[in-house]
Structure formats: C-alpha cells, structure tokens
Amino acid sequence: MTERLAIEEIEVHVLQVPLQKTFWMSTEAYTTAGQVFVTLRTAEGLVGYGQAHGNPLDEIAKVIREDLSPILLGSSAWDVRALWQRMFETTFRRTKAVTTGQPHFGNRGRYQMMAAIAAVDIAMWDLRAKAADVPLHRLLGTDRNTVPAYASGGYYPSADRDELGIDGLINEIGSYVEAGFDTAKMKVGRVPANDVKRVAAVRDTFPDIRLLVDANGAWTFTEAALAARGFSELGVAWLEEPLAWFANAADLGRLAEISPVPLAGGEQEPHKWSCVPLVEQGGLRYLQLDCTRAGGITEWLEAAAFATQKDVGLAPHHDPQIHAHLLAACGDDVIQETFPNPVRDPLWDEFFLSKPTLRDGVVHLPAAPGLGFEPDPAMLRRWSVASWTCSSDAGEVQVREGASQFAVQ
C-alpha cells in the first residue's frame, strides 16, 4: 500500500429533493430530502464520498469551503484522526475576523461545523478503506457483513392533530411486514390518548412485530409518562426522543425510571461529549447518534465505545450505507434504521448506482472497497442545487462554483 492519499480536490454539493408528499412528524413537516454530498479526490485518483445532514445545508457547505478545505488540501487521509482534531479546533479556536455582529466563539454555528466535519471525515474513512482495498467494516475490525434493520415510517397524514390516519398507517406497516421486516417504527408525540389509539391499531393488526415509536422530542415529562404507560400495554419495544428540547439528561433518566417502555435517543447530539450524560444519566436503552450530523465516523466510534461499555445498545439515525459498516463492528446489541418507502427517502432509493442491499429486514454490506456505494452522476446533476470545487494552487485555496469533472458537465 503505497498511496499517500494526499487530498487534491474537494467537491461539495448541496442536494435538495422535493418529496412527492408531506410527511408529518409530531410537530414538524418533512417536505424535502436534503444533504451535503462531498467527494475528496487524491493525487492517486482515488475518490472518497461523504455525506452530511443538518440545516441550513448552505452553511454546512460554506464551512467545508472556507474553514476545512485549507486544513485538508495537501493533507493525507491516512492522518484522519489528527485532521479531525485540527478541524474540531476551528469550533473553539478561531483566528478569523468576524465581519458582522458581536464576535463570539462558534459564530458560524457549532451544529453546522460538526456536520461539515462529518462529511469530510466520512469521505476520509471511505478513502482509507479503498486504499486498503477492503470494505469499511473490515478496516474497522470485522468480517461480519450483515446488520439487523428496522423499517422507519408511520408518519401522520397532516398537521391536524385529530386526524389519526389509521388506514394509511396499517397499509404502510403492512408493506414493511410483506418486505420481510419484523421491526417497524411509527411516529407519536401528539395527543397521548390519540397516539395510543394509533399504536393499538397497528398492534391489533400485526400482533407479532416488534413495534417502536418516535415522539421526535414533542412532549412534556407528564405527557411522556402518560403515553409510556399506554404504550407498555401494547408491547412497544422503545420510545424514542420522548422529551422536548428543554429537558436534560437527568429528566430523561427520571422518565426512564418510571417508564415501562425502554427509551432511545441521541440522534440530535452534535458530538461524543453530549452523549456522555445521556448514557450515564439518561437511562437510554439505545443511543442513536448520527455520524452524518455529529463529526463523522471518527467521533461516532468513540461515542459508541463509551455507550457499549455502559451496556447501551446502538441504533444510529438514518443512512444505512454508512452506519451499517460501523454497527457490524460493534457487537450484537445493534439495529439500523432504514426508510424503505421510496417516497420518504428518494436519496436512498434513487441516488446510488450501487449500495448495500436491504433484504428481509437485514442490511447486507457490499464486498466493494470502502463504503461500497457509488452515486449516480445523473442524480447528482439533477438534485445538486449548488456545488463548488476546492483545490490548492501554490498553497492558496481556490474555490470555483459549480464545476466538477465528475458531476456537472
């Protein structure tokens, strides 16, 4: 293995895919699938792919162009941990002048910075595994190439809190059962009594499935405790993000003590440090840290190591094409979220020429080197609403709009 993996070019795309219908969570609507997609190209001609989620996507792309590309261009992807540290230090040690407003650290937005680091970190892990000519899960220390998965969906039909949408819900969960899933997740987080009715309808129709519910952080402590009692009689296997944003880990821990249903959470955490109180005090059964939001694979592995030490299982949010490699290397107390409905997740369904396969409720990782997926250039062209290419000329970072010999022709 002689490649130096020096990063010569960084391509950044903002992808936006309008959905054919609106998917309602407890309090927010999901109308557009979006992500920042990054390619890192090395002097040897290897290409690594990375993805980031978060909002606003333009801000994430800007951090990559302006703050991270000077650190990455000319550096070696073999050095991913040292580079991660240098990138992370831009979140609290900044020397740039702030041009507007009152200066303060993290002016650019820490969540956007962690998502930007995530995209390029993931791409560096892809490069390293490709240079080693092995699938990423092997680089992480396992030959295992399958991971159990669940089907995520069960959204509300509208903003109307009285509309239960039970017929549609039953049809949807039925489609997952027909596809071979034994575990499915549905949305809750509105009026607890109504949510118990929706869950009861699914339970009555599908008595044998493992049923998970996700409140997307919509409830007060009292509402969550009430709902958890109702769900426990229906054999719900986890209650996800029950409490609103102003609750802390200790509040979650108090809920875990009285909830007969195990709790899951952590998909919105920005880094490993914020996972520590969740694991130590939150009473979580599953940690759901999302590496595409929170600093990438380097950071996710450290949080996962801490969680598993404390007997907390791992169930990362979204993106099986990345997370399933990590889960394969993390033992048996793991499960991967997937979105089999192509209307909800066109990025999973249509964006890739090749990717992991989802069969009978199991993610099967490909044997191809690296992450093992290949984006479809036609879809990249179609869905990319903005793109930039960063390169270095005599030590100076050059950014040009659009571009890309790979995508935009």
Applying CB under 5 A, the residues found at the interface with Mg ion are: 214
Beta bridge partners of 14: 36, 386
Nearer to Mg ion, 279 or 289 (CB): 289
For the bound state, the minimum distance from the C-beta of residue 387 to Mg ion, rounded and expressed in Å, comes to: 29
Burial of 246 (0-12, 13-18, 19+ CB in 10 A): exposed
Name every residue whose Cβ is closer than 8 Å to that of residue 248 and which is 6 or more positions away in sequence: 277
Residue labelled with tokens 């020397």: 95
Contact 351, 33 (CB under 8 A): no
Nearer to Mg ion, 126 or 214 (CB): 214
DSSP designation for 77: G
For the bound state, the minimum distance from the C-beta of residue 214 to Mg ion, rounded and expressed in Å, comes to: 4
For the bound state, the minimum distance from the C-beta of residue 409 to Mg ion, rounded and expressed in Å, comes to: 37
- Element counts in the chain: helices (H) and strands (E): 14, 17
Contact 136, 328 (CB under 8 A): no
Among 325, 263, 274, smallest CA distance to 303 is for 274
For residue 121 the two structure tokens come to 């970190």
For the bound state, the minimum distance from the C-beta of residue 238 to Mg ion, rounded and expressed in Å, comes to: 11
The residue nearest Mg ion at its CB is 214
Among 368, 353, 292, smallest CA distance to 326 is for 292
Beta bridge partners of 17: 33
For the bound state, the minimum distance from the C-beta of residue 187 to Mg ion, rounded and expressed in Å, comes to: 9
Contact 320, 363 (CB under 8 A): yes
Nearer to Mg ion, 3 or 214 (CB): 214
Nearer to Mg ion, 214 or 319 (CB): 214
Nearer to Mg ion, 251 or 290 (CB): 290
Nearer to Mg ion, 317 or 325 (CB): 317
For the bound state, the minimum distance from the C-beta of residue 268 to Mg ion, rounded and expressed in Å, comes to: 9
Residue labelled with tokens 């010569």: 8
